[in-house]
A and B are shown apart, each in its own frame.
Chain A
Amino acid sequence: MRLHMIAVLTLLGVVNYAAGIDYDGWLNIKIEHSLNCGHERYCSRGNISLKSIRAGSTSVIEQIPFTKQHIEELKSIAEVNGFYTMRTVVTSADNSKGTEFFSSVKADAFLENGLSDVINAWVLPNGAVIAVSFQVTNSSQPLLKGASSHKINSNFFLRYVEQAPVPDTASYIQKLEREREAREKGDVKDNRSFLAKYWMYIVPIAIFVMISGATNPEPAGAQGGR
């Protein structure tokens, strides 16, 4: 089978995520699907290989192009609103047997978006992969009609399971110490203005004066006129 090479370089958004990885080594993800397989349940769709999990930035994706038969089968799945399922087997230096994953996308969405998908692989700090999931991306390029073969546009992202935050005791103790020091130095002088300090007493008095003034201006005017 003629292999078509598509190398997609993916840059990970945050490089320092990888600092949580205790382990480094190569990673190989074999992708299989059940389109145009003949008698087999699953046959190869492609392969993703990584030199280093920790670096993670470069991965090589090799995938077969889809022929007419592939597209026809995909279309027949899409007619019943069915799922297009991928089987992936992940092997690494200390997992030669491989771990099996499944993931599915809606066949019609995959066709509509011109065979574009995103592959996310989640890695634990010990280098083990916990999930490989496929999701269709929104792509503006629909499938070319009449073409004999179609490329699969895949983007691969290696996602690291992060270290959870720990209760932040250090900065709190620092804050308490700062407060203690401030107290030892002497009370902080309240340098707000008179109004800012005592507005809560002034406002009710002012309201009371205004109400009593506004309700009865006539007698006051009459008295003044007399």
Chain B
Amino acid sequence: MGLLSIHFKPNFLGLLKCLNKLNWFIVFFSLINLSVCIYEDQIGKFDWRQTYVGRIKFSQFDTVSTAKKIIVATEENVLAALNLKTGQVVWRHVFESTSTGNIQLLHVTEKVVTVTGSNPYLVRGWDSSTGVLLWEWSLTLQNEEQSEFSEFWVQNNMLVHMLPVFGSHVEVSMYNLLSGQNRGATSKLPATWTNDGCVLSAPYYTCISGGVGTQQLLSLDVTSNAVQLLSRPISEYVTVNTYDGGLRPLDTNNVIPAFTLDDKKIVLIRNNQFEILKTEVVDPSASVALVDTMHGQVILQAWFDENEGFTVKAHNAATGAEVPELRVLEPELKLAEPELAAATCSRPRDQLACRLLLTGADDSVHLMQQGGRVIWSREEALANVVAVEFVELPVSDLDAAIESEFDQKEGSIWAAFTRRLQTQFQQLQTLIQSLQKGEGEEDEAPPALVRDYFGLHKIIVLVTDVGKIFGMDNLSGALLWQYYEPSLDTENVLVYTRRTARYPPYDAYVTIVGKHEESGNGLIISLNPITGALIGEKLMHLDVQLLQCALLHRPDNEKLYALILLDKDENVQILPGSAAPLVENMYMYVAEKNTARVQGYALVYDGRSLWARRTWQVQLGGGGAARVVLAARKAAAERVHSPGRVLPDRSVLYKYLNPNLVLFVTEGPDPLHKDVVVATCVDAVSGAVVAAQTHRRARALPLAIHTEHYLAYLYYNDKHRRTEIATLELYEGQSRWLGAGAAFSSLAGRRAPSVERQAYILAAAPAAAATTRTEKALTDKHVILALSSGALVEIPWGYLEARRGGLAEDGSVIPAQASPPELLLGGDARLNYNRSLARPARVHAAPAGLESTSLVLATGLDLFYTRVAPSKTFDLLKDDFDYYLITIVLAALILATYSTKYFASRKILKMAWK
């Protein structure tokens, strides 16, 4: 007891010494980042979202309400309001992507009226300033077959529906716009002269009818009570010999019924009379619009010419005189096939002010003022991204010089010495230059595109459905360059990074392999992803259709990975051709989508030419009617950090890491079980099936994950009406088949891996799936799912593991009873917090230079970029790390240590004197 009391005696000195030791713990603990979610002030710090609406179908200026807007309805079935000054989306409604969401009519007055769907139709009214739904009624047609030719328009607060029955009659019904009440019975107007080339220019329905040479131009006001048919022989307007039946309504017109004839003449209908204008259509491809101004109606024409550029001309409709104020000639604006989507003119102070909304063939939207100034542009092609590639940025010139200095290994000691002196002199020069610049004014130029220290800054190459390719800065979301190729068919397009920017003086090299829109032949675009300039093969049209393409696994002496193309006749091409001798141990597979037949080829270089030899063939549907829904392979050059996993009993279970494994998910009918989904893991080199399993009464979804030794794919369970995710893990077993570091060979050895299987319920509708990727694969892998609800969810692989529970004494796996069968998607798993994504379609992940971090881009109607850290940011200080506090604490502790040392020595001295 006495001893204890001595120890517990308050001892100031001891406590201080103790604190001295503890301060290192304080420093240590303050470094651990405990935050999991983001804080409110971090919103938008690591992520961004861009909202798009799609290619514009109908648009109208909202000039009534105080906040000026443009109301647009798009091909993507989106109704939106765009800010007139900035082009940003004010409000947006995304309708169903199927035909029930098709927008048939957009009418803007004080309210916005839309007709959507295709029999039954929904008529809705929206508040133009907020986008709130005001009223809605549905319209069902009796006549099912003809309904696709229906036309709608609004006239005197009535919704007019016209249904032509070609060669017979025209049915016209009128409804109260707000209530849907029918004014009377449907009136049937006899019109035997109608055909499918007729155009509507409300309320006139205009056709060209009759035999060659005696054609008549016929027009009928379908809403008037008295049927009055206008009829004129066509020879009065155009020369009959050259006429080929071109009858087009004007692109923008809400003034007076009008149309163009034979892409030459513009005809108005005024006072129930055809009236031909003095102004002729300037260019056959020109978009023609009729706009009402204070000075009468003006005909606007816009077209694009390769030599002259983009041109707009305006003529007075009555006199035919040109309006010079509205003339635009922009040689710089590359807007292919421009269309005047909407136009409005006002005259505030005796000066004509017009605004034109233009759309191009590349889905871009531009708002132009008179004089040609573009107020804003939107790249609506980005609403349909089909392929994404993250590309590294090059190092700065200075770093490149240092690297090249250490690269050169040959040379004598003196050469090395002089080289070092030279480079250090250069470095000194750049230092002095930068100091001089610092003294002067601040550099206004945007930061150069060079790699940052953590490798977080990249360029995203986006290939869009319409054939436009973009380079985007991943940190800001800004577009750096764009390239439009109208003939590119982007179905199943592939993007390869053939050389990264790591090898100066060579440029980075990205190749896009697509199809030609008309012929279906291969089309190859090679460009520098940093600048967007075409390099190498540039734009290359192949004269044959492609079956498969791949990158060679080893680079040539210019660090370029060759592109190997297998064409329809089983011939092989290699780009560049000089890389052919490098082909060795190269294999390819081709899966036929509709027959589920998969063939494997070995590529052989015989000293002169390269050819493909078919080595294997399997029938994944068993010869029956089955189709391949997806083929998922591992990411090229995937790194695996750990070849095994440690079990609770300290033994190691080795992973089956076959880099040639491909997962095929096929779907086919079955006499007993309706639809059957078969998942087969095939070794693409030898053609051997490694594992396979079936699901009865299920339908396959084209979503799968394949990385390291695990696979997961999603399917729809028809029996239980829910989406499920099946996971597979492949293991070699407790002992390794090959020695550490030995290369895997598909052709040697016939051992089958053990397969762990599991399935989980996913209580959501998934739209895309991906896994996170990091530089060295040290970090955990998480699965990222985009759900149709607009959420982007991150699920740790641990939740999906097929191998649950520990290992029993005898080596068998204990069944996982405790795990819930449903995947729980918690709110904190959601990466995009409250920024919902409309119609997500794809998710891409790319490694950052920082090991803990993976960069994620979700595409769809919206683009959303963020970065995730699956194992937390273990190599990064947290964002709000308090540098001041830690410095003050450290300084105070050092001060306290030395002062106590001083006081302690004084005390000991005093005690010794006692």
Contacts and interface: CB of A to CB of B under 8 A. Distances in A.
A163 B11 contact: no
Contact of A83 (B9, B15, B615, B693): B615
A215 B17 contact: yes
Nearest to A83: B615
Contacts of B616: 101-104, 133
Contact of B689 (A131, A137, A171, A219): A131
A181 interface: no
B619 A131 contact: yes
B680 interface: yes
Interface in A104-141: 104-106, 109, 118, 120, 122, 124-126, 128-131, 133, 135-138
A137 to B, nearest CB: 6
B6 A216 contact: no
Contact of B694 (A100, A104, A159, A163): A163
Interface in B1-38: 6-9, 11, 13-15, 17-18, 21
Given A120-B688, A130-B680, A220-B6, A161 B14 contact: no
A223 interface: yes
A163 to B, nearest CB: 6
Interface string B741-762: 0000001111000000111110
B224 interface: no
B620 interface: yes
A159 B18 CA distance: 68
B620 A130 contact: yes
A172 B682 CA distance: 34
Nearest to B606: A80
Contacts of A175: 817-818
Does more than half of chain A's interface fall in helix, strand or loop, or is it mixed?
mixed
A5 to B, nearest CB: 24
Nearest to B14: A216
Contacts of B552: none
Contacts of A124: 622, 676, 678, 694
A213 interface: yes
B693 A164 contact: yes
Contacts of A130: 618-622, 678, 680, 689, 692
B820 interface: yes
Contacts of B604: 82
Contacts of B6: 220, 223-224
B680 A162 contact: no
B689 A133 contact: yes
Nearest to A208: B18
A69 interface: no
A215 B687 CA distance: 70
A120 B14 CA distance: 76
A138 to B, nearest CB: 8
Contacts of A168: 816, 821
Given A100-B617, A130-B618, A165 B821 contact: no
A112 B227 CA distance: 93
Nearest to B617: A102
Contacts of A136: 747-748, 750
B797 to A, nearest CB: 17
Given A126-B622, A135-B750, A165 B687 contact: no
A164 B606 CA distance: 45
Interface residues of B, number: 63
Interface in A131-169: 131, 133, 135-138, 159, 161-169
A135 to B, nearest CB: 4
A161 B694 contact: yes
> Most B CB atoms within 10 A — which of A95, A120, A131?
A131
B692 A161 contact: yes
Contacts of B748: 109, 136
Interface string B590-607: 000000000100101010
A193 interface: no
B584 to A, nearest CB: 9
Nearest to B692: A161
A216 B820 CA distance: 55
A164 B698 CA distance: 11
A124 B689 CA distance: 12
Contacts, number: 166
Nearest to B623: A99
Contact of A122 (B692, B758, B820): B692
A101 B619 contact: yes
A164 B679 contact: yes
A200 interface: no
Contacts of B619: 99-101, 129-131
Interface string B812-836: 0001111111100000000000000
A212 interface: yes
A212 B678 contact: no
B602 to A, nearest CB: 6
B778 to A, nearest CB: 31
A187 interface: no
A101 B599 CA distance: 9
> Most B CB atoms within 10 A — which of A99, A124, A131, A164?
A164
A159 B757 contact: no
Contacts of B693: 161-164
A215 B14 contact: yes
B686 interface: yes
B7 A211 contact: no
Nearest to B18: A211
A172 B694 CA distance: 23
A209 interface: yes
A22 interface: yes
A216 B615 contact: no
Contact of A167 (B15, B599, B724, B815): B724
Contact of A95 (B623, B671, B758): B623
B695 interface: yes
Contact of A131 (B13, B21, B618): B618
A224 B6 CA distance: 8
Contacts of B694: 124-125, 161-164
A212 to B, nearest CB: 5
Contacts of B759: 164-167
A85 interface: yes
B728 to A, nearest CB: 9
Contacts of A167: 724, 759-761, 821-822
B613 interface: yes
Contacts of B818: 175
B871 to A, nearest CB: 26
6 smallest beta-carbon distances between A and B, as pairs: A128-B622, A104-B615, A99-B623, A167-B821, A135-B750, A216-B14
Given A80-B606, A105-B747, A208-B18, 11 more contacts: A118-B750, A125-B694, A128-B622, A130-B692, A162-B692, A162-B757, A164-B694, A209-B7, A209-B8, A212-B18, A215-B14
12 contacts: A83-B613, A85-B615, A99-B622, A101-B617, A105-B747, A124-B678, A129-B622, A130-B619, A164-B695, A164-B759, A166-B759, A175-B818
